[in-house]
Amino acid sequence: MLEMHYYGDPVLRKKAVPVEKFDEELQGFVDELIETMEYEDGVGLAATQVGICRRIAVINATGGQEQTYVLINPEIVYSSQEKEDYDEGCLSIPGITLSVNRPSVVSVKAQDAKGQQYLIENAQGLLARALQHEIDHLNGIMFVDHVSPLQRSLINGKLKKISRAQREKSQDL
Is 4 domain-assigned?
Answer: no
Question: What confidence score (pLDDT) does residue 173 get?
Answer: 59
Give the pTM. Answer: 0.94
Rounded to whole angstroms, the Cα distance separating 102 from 4 reads 25
Asked whether 146 and 128 are in contact (CB, 8 A), the reply is no
Is 66 domain-assigned?
Answer: yes
Is 5 domain-assigned?
Answer: no
Got the DSSP string for 39-107?
A: HTT-SEEEGGGGT--BSEEEE-TTTTSSPPEEEEEEEEEEE-S-EEEEEEEETTEEEEEEEEEEES-EE
Task: Cite the active site residues.
Answer: 134
The pLDDT profile of the chain, 173 residues, written as one tens digit per residue, is: 999 999 999 999 999 999 999 999 999 999 999 999 999 999 999 999 999 999 999 999 987 778 899 999 999 999 999 999 999 999 999 999 999 999 999 999 999 999 999 999 999 999 999 999 999 999 999 999 999 888 888 899 999 999 888 888 777 65
How many domains does the structure of the chain reveal?
1
Enclosing domain of residue 41: 10-172
Kindly report the CATH number assigned to the domain that includes residue 60.
Answer: 3.90.45.10
Is 2 domain-assigned?
Answer: no
Is 1 domain-assigned?
Answer: no
* Cα maximum dimension of the chain: 46
Asked whether 71 and 108 are in contact (CB, 8 A), the reply is yes
